[in-house]
Amino acid sequence: MQESDLTSARCSVRIFLPESWGETMQYLLQAAGFGDTLIETHYPSGKLAGDGTHASFCELRLLITEGQLPELEGAVRTWVTAWELEDQDWRLSHEMLQEDDLARQSAWKDRWRAFRCAGFVIYPEFFDQPPRQMRPNDQALRVLPGSAFGTGAHATTRLALAAMRSLQQEGVRWERVLDVGTGSGILAVAARLMGARQVIGMDPDRMSAAQAQAMADANEVGAGSAFWCGNLVSSRPQPYDLVLANLVAEILIEEAPSLMAHLGTNGHLFTGGVLARKRSQVVSAMDAAGLRPRGGGRPWRQRGRWCADIWCHS
Ligand SMILES: C[S@@+](CC[C@H](N)C(=O)[O-])C[C@H]1O[C@@H](n2cnc3c(N)ncnc32)[C@H](O)[C@@H]1O
């Protein structure tokens, strides 16, 4: 066998880690050029995740060449070290594949499962019908497979959906919604499904706008939804009733004045993607911009290490 045959041989990699890190890992793997990744979360059969039986871990599967393996292992080790995961919290294994195995790997769609979150049942667009576990008050939210972030599985996306539902249940209404870092468009589409008249999503990821618009169309809320490639700093400030910013602490700190400039007088800002140890820096930046968190010294809600906050004008 030649050396080139060895390095291009197909290799199936499985990465196990806490559920809350799954989608971040997926995003980083795709951004680093390791191709499509399937996330499988584990929960008892007959239940949907979100029924109060949250999976404690998830499994990411991807196909790479044998030559990519050392680079992949190095990257994963760097990330889990940065996230301070203990050795027992994660595992990476791989196996070399034969032709038969390759055919079986392409059956990834069969393993995709629906899950429940904040009154939504979230399932992929290639399911012909809504899942049978739908309850009368559940709202269907169809997601499209694609490279932009946001299948709904990540803890930060779930916190954002929960925050929107909580505001809605309080009687807060929003006409115009801005979704900064829209990714797949999941939050913008959810806002439209919850009654927003107009939603705008933006993201510097060039794959995002088309995927988000397709997702809005798949949920029959394409009209009234618009998406563009860009960021806040390059957009003209207009007042929105609700601004969603599921980003990371560093961007929130940098863009606090721009987020404030886009918030209507009685508007609400959601921020997510903030690790607990960085929240105080976000609070300082928002305070300087004229925004106060509803929870005061404590986050509105926290899931694992992720903090979510809802902000109003000071
Ligand atoms: C954590 S994902 C959130 C995706 C989706 N909104 C969700 O909640 O699942 C963050 C998104 O922010 C985008 N992003 C990165 N830098 C940004 C910036 N400066 N302004 C706006 N979006 C940015 C990324 O491309 C990514 O799609």
- Is pLDDT above 60 for 102? no
- In CATH terms, the fold of domain 151-313 is Rossmann fold (3.40.50)
Enter the CATH code of domain 3-111.
Answer: 3.30.70.120
Residue 251 makes CB contacts below 8 A (sequence gap 6+) with: 181
Ligand 1: centre distance to CA 301 (Å) = 20
Nearest residue (CA) to ligand 1, atom 4: 183
- Is pLDDT above 90 for 293? yes
The percent of residues above 90 in pLDDT, for the chain, comes to 54
Task: Give residue 107's pLDDT.
Answer: 57
For ligand 1, residues with CB inside 6 Å are 148-150, 154, 156-157, 160, 180-183, 186-187, 203-205, 208, 231-232, 246-247, 251, 273
21-46 pLDDT, tens digit each: 888 888 888 778 887 667 776 654 44
Res. 270 pLDDT band, cuts 50 70 90: very high
Average pLDDT value over all residues in the chain: 86
Phi, psi of 240, deg, nearest 5: -115, 150
Nearest residue (CA) to ligand 1, atom 9: 150
Ligand 1: centre distance to CA 180 (Å) = 7
Name the pTM for this structure.
Answer: 0.75
157-194 pLDDT, tens digit each: 999 999 999 999 999 999 999 999 999 999 999 999 99
The percent of residues above 70 in pLDDT, for the chain, comes to 87
Task: Give residue 148's pLDDT.
Answer: 77
Task: Give residue 69's pLDDT.
Answer: 92
Q: How many helices (H) and strands (E) does the chain have?
A: 9, 15
Domains of the chain, residue spans = 3-111, 151-313
Nearest residue (CA) to ligand 1, atom 18: 231
Best-predicted range by mean pLDDT among 56-60, 103-107, 280-284?
A: 280-284
Nearest residue (CA) to ligand 1, atom 13: 181
For tokens 């196996």, name the residue.
95
Task: Give residue 247's pLDDT.
Answer: 95
Cα(200)–Cα(208) distance, rounded to whole angstroms? 13
